Amino acid sequence: MFELMININRKLPSFRNRAKALECSKALIERYNTRFQETESALPHVFKAEYYVMYDRDLKAAKISILKAMEHEDVCDWAQSCLDILMYETPDFINGEKLIEQCNQDIKDSSYYLMKSQISVERKDFDDANKFIEKSLSAGLNYDDYLINKSFIYLHEDANQKVLNILVDVISDLAPSSAKEALIVNRELASKRNTGKINKVDIQNVIGRDRKGPASIAAHILLDEEVPARRLLDEIINNDFSYYYTFMRWPVIPKKYLDKYSVSCITSDKMSA
What pLDDT digit, counting tens, does each position of 126-170 carry?
Answer: 999 999 999 999 999 999 999 999 999 999 999 999 999 999 999
pLDDT at 33 over 70: no
For residues 265 and 271, give the distance between their C-alpha atoms in angstroms, rounded to a whole number: 13
pLDDT band at residue 17 under the 50/70/90 scheme: low
SS3 101: helix
Q: Give the model confidence (pLDDT) of 211-245 as tens digits.
A: 889 999 999 999 999 999 999 999 999 988 999 99
Q: What is the mean pLDDT of the chain?
A: 88
Binning pLDDT at 50, 70 and 90, where does residue 15 land?
very low
Phi, psi of 58, rounded to the nearest 5 degrees: -115, 90
C-alpha dihedral, 113 to 188 to 179 to 147, nearest 10°: -30
- Is the pLDDT at 189 greater than 60? The verdict is yes
- The structure's pTM equals 0.88
Q: Residue 262's pLDDT band (boundaries 50, 70, 90)?
A: confident
> Which ranges constitute the DSSP H helices of the chain?
2-11, 18-31, 33-38, 43-51, 59-69, 79-87, 93-102, 109-122, 126-138, 143-157, 160-167, 178-195, 200-210, 214-222, 226-239, 242-249, 259-262
Mean pLDDT for the stretch of residues 70-79: 96
Domain boundaries along the sequence of the chain: 159-268
Q: What is the pLDDT of residue 6?
A: 46
Res. 18: pLDDT tops 90: no
Task: Give the three-state DSSP class for 58.
Answer: strand
Spatial CA neighbour of 133 closest among 148, 149, 119, 144: 149
